Amino acid sequence: MNQRLADFLKRRTTRRVALDAATLLAAVVIGVIAFSAAAHGELGVGPARLAISVAPATSPLTVVELPPFGSVEAVTHRGPVRLDVRVEAIDVVDTQRLVASGALSTSQTLASVSVADLPLTGFTALLWRVIGGGALAAALAGLLVGLALRRGRAVVALAVALAVALPTVVVGVAYATWDMSAFREPTLRGGLVYAPKLIDVFSTRVARIQGLRDQAVKVASDLAAYYADDRSLASGGALPGTFRVLHITDLHLDPVGAELARSIARSYEASVVIETGDLPILGVPVETSVFASLVDRAVPLVYVPGNHDSPASLDALRRLGATVLTSGTIEVRGLRIFGVPDPSSRGFGIQPDAVAVDEAARLAFAQLKASLASGEATPDVVAVHSPLMEAPFIGVVPLVLAGHTHVASFSIVRGTVLLNSGTLGGMPFDLKASGPTVLPYSASVLYFTAQKPRRLVAIDRIDVYPDRSTTVSRQVINESLLP
């Protein structure tokens, strides 16, 4: 009899211990879920409204989300917890007002979403409120689990303590090891991988911009001196007796590249500038406030939209007097130019679509073919953004200009000159699968005959490297046309 009672008490104790353990485990799990659901809040930073959340996670990350473009993330701490900062809204009118008044620069506008640049006092206060709200939710979850399973007071108290302890401990570890300098080497996700200049916005670009401007002035004077020297090229500098066109592409809001473009246009006395897209970084309206300082209005500009362009950026260029070529052929100072815009420029998305690009090229070529069949003259230049658009025009037109890749290239295929002038986007480094690649500022000067119809004579390809070394290579296309 005594043995049966002992066995019964032992089984009951074991069952109670198991139920208590299950209660505590359930309290911890549900407490973490409750913490994650409740630990969030909002903060106004200038014209932007940010949503902030903290939650236990498998990776110690801080993630800045910039919908619809993607996100920027960095490993800023230790411990399995994640901080999310999401841009919920930006008051574009207010932002443009601040930029126009000089209270905010475009670089600051783009960088203002970085956690590293948030007002420390307001951000810290909100963060503690977010964590406090999460801890309160976890404690309530532990209490409800304990009461729902009808455990004793001690077990309920322990359930509450453990439900709060786990998320707050991991958050405490993250706080103690926080290092925002990790954003000097961030990871870009989504559409932002196509705007690698934003890495500089989150690290050193803003600090270096004045130094780069100073270098641009030196480069400009070097170029001017170089082309004033008749011994600079075998033919004696810039070819006399020719009609000269400057081709630039992928400026991406870079003031150094803009200054360099002005210098080359002046040195060569260019009659027309053809730009094959991607003047902005993201295509958002606020970027257009700095276009006036980047566009050289002393020379006619023909602009073919790229995938980083948008209706807002194209409208701004038109207001500055640029000819935005979205279809058909135009004639500028006797030069016939046919343009094919990137399909992405019709909206605010910057993600290139190879299928849409190919279809746009084929439709544009069908339009050109119909025009030629009706008796129109063949264009002197076809300007596209992506090299994927070149194929239909090869063998039909004398010259196709492109950009997008940020890598300069030149070839002649079935009689058609294919020229990509690289980038004036000030990109000392570009993101490639094989690792960072040093890229120069690059542009091209096209020589056409002074007489009409214009015929391509030669091309000068100009590369200016970050160390300010400059290389110029001339490619003669038709020796019989040399003046």
174 and 213 both lie in a single domain: no
Average pLDDT over all residues of the chain: 76
Placement of tokens 């290092």 in the chain: 179
Placement of tokens 């353990």 in the chain: 21
191 and 276 both lie in a single domain: no
The predicted model gives 114-130 an average pLDDT of 59
Band (pLDDT 50/70/90 cuts) for residue 3 is: low
Q: What pLDDT, on the 0 to 100 scale, is given for residue 18? A: 72
Q: In what side-by-side order are the strands of the sheet with 48-56?
A: 40-45, 48-56, 81-90, 62-66, 70-74, 187-190
Q: 96 in a domain, yes or no? A: yes
Instruction: Point out the least confidently predicted range of 91-95, 105-109, 384-388, 402-406.
Output: 105-109
Quick: pLDDT tens for 202-252. 444 434 444 555 555 555 555 544 444 333 333 335 788 999 999 999 998
84 and 38 both lie in a single domain: yes
246 and 157 both lie in a single domain: no
Q: What pLDDT, on the 0 to 100 scale, is given for residue 115? A: 44
Tally of domains within the chain: 2
Round to whole Å and give the CA distance between 446 and 469.
22
Backbone angles phi, psi at 16, to 5 degrees: -65, -40
Q: What pLDDT, on the 0 to 100 scale, is given for residue 207? A: 41
155 and 75 both lie in a single domain: yes
Better-scored residue on pLDDT, 89 or 247:
247
106 and 245 both lie in a single domain: no
447 and 367 both lie in a single domain: yes
Q: 468 in a domain, yes or no? A: yes
169 and 214 both lie in a single domain: no
Nearest residue to 274 via CA among 421, 395, 392, 379: 421
Instruction: Point out the least confidently predicted range of 220-229, 258-267, 371-380.
Output: 220-229
Q: 203 in a domain, yes or no? A: no
Round to whole Å and give the CA distance between 403 and 456.
19
Two tokens, residue 323: 């000819």
Is residue 360 scored above 70 in pLDDT?
Answer: yes
- Of 198, 233, 255, the last residue of a domain is 198
223 and 185 both lie in a single domain: no
Q: 446-451 long-range contacts, Cβ below 8 Å, gap at least 24?
A: 446/244, 446/245, 446/246, 446/247, 446/399, 446/419, 447/239, 447/242, 447/243, 447/244, 448/242, 448/243, 448/244, 448/245, 448/335, 448/380, 449/242, 449/243, 449/481, 450/241, 450/242, 450/243, 450/483
Band (pLDDT 50/70/90 cuts) for residue 132 is: confident
176 and 228 both lie in a single domain: no
Counts of helices then strands in the chain (DSSP H, E): 11, 21
80 and 115 both lie in a single domain: yes
- Of 176, 198, 220, the last residue of a domain is 198
Q: 53 in a domain, yes or no? A: yes
Band (pLDDT 50/70/90 cuts) for residue 422 is: very high
Q: 434 in a domain, yes or no? A: yes
Q: What pLDDT, on the 0 to 100 scale, is given for residue 211? A: 53
pTM: 0.58
Q: What pLDDT, on the 0 to 100 scale, is given for residue 219? A: 55
Q: What pLDDT, on the 0 to 100 scale, is given for residue 116? A: 44
Two tokens, residue 248: 């630039």
Highest mean pLDDT: which of 6-10, 18-22, 79-83, 423-427? 79-83
Q: 183 in a domain, yes or no? A: yes
- Buried/exposed code over 301-339 (b: 16+ C-beta within 10 A; e: otherwise): bbbbbbbbbbebbbebbeeeebbbbeeebeebebbbbbb
229 and 194 both lie in a single domain: no
Quick: pLDDT tens for 439-448. 788 999 999 9
- Of 198, 232, 267, the last residue of a domain is 198
Q: 120 in a domain, yes or no? A: yes
Is residue 117 scored above 60 in pLDDT?
Answer: no
Q: 204 in a domain, yes or no? A: no
Band (pLDDT 50/70/90 cuts) for residue 399 is: very high
- The percentage of residues in the chain with a pLDDT greater than 90, rounded to a whole number, is 30
270: Cβ contacts below 8 Å, ≥ 6 apart: 244, 245, 246, 264, 299, 445
Q: What pLDDT, on the 0 to 100 scale, is given for residue 468? A: 59
Domain enclosing residue 340, as ranges: 209-481
Q: What pLDDT, on the 0 to 100 scale, is given for residue 98? A: 45
Band (pLDDT 50/70/90 cuts) for residue 94 is: very low
Nearest residue to 84 via CA among 127, 117, 46: 127
Q: What pLDDT, on the 0 to 100 scale, is given for residue 232? A: 37
Is residue 41 scored above 70 in pLDDT?
Answer: yes
Residue 337 DSSP SS3:
strand
Is residue 366 scored above 90 in pLDDT?
Answer: yes
Is residue 189 scored above 70 in pLDDT?
Answer: no
Is residue 400 scored above 80 in pLDDT?
Answer: yes
- Helices 2-38 and 153-176: angle between axes, nearest 10 degrees: 40
Specify the CATH number for the domain of residue 399: 3.60.21.10
Quick: pLDDT tens for 301-330. 999 999 989 999 999 999 999 999 998 899
Two tokens, residue 50: 């940010």
Q: Is 233 exposed, middle or buried (0-12, 13-18, 19+ CB in 10 A)?
A: middle
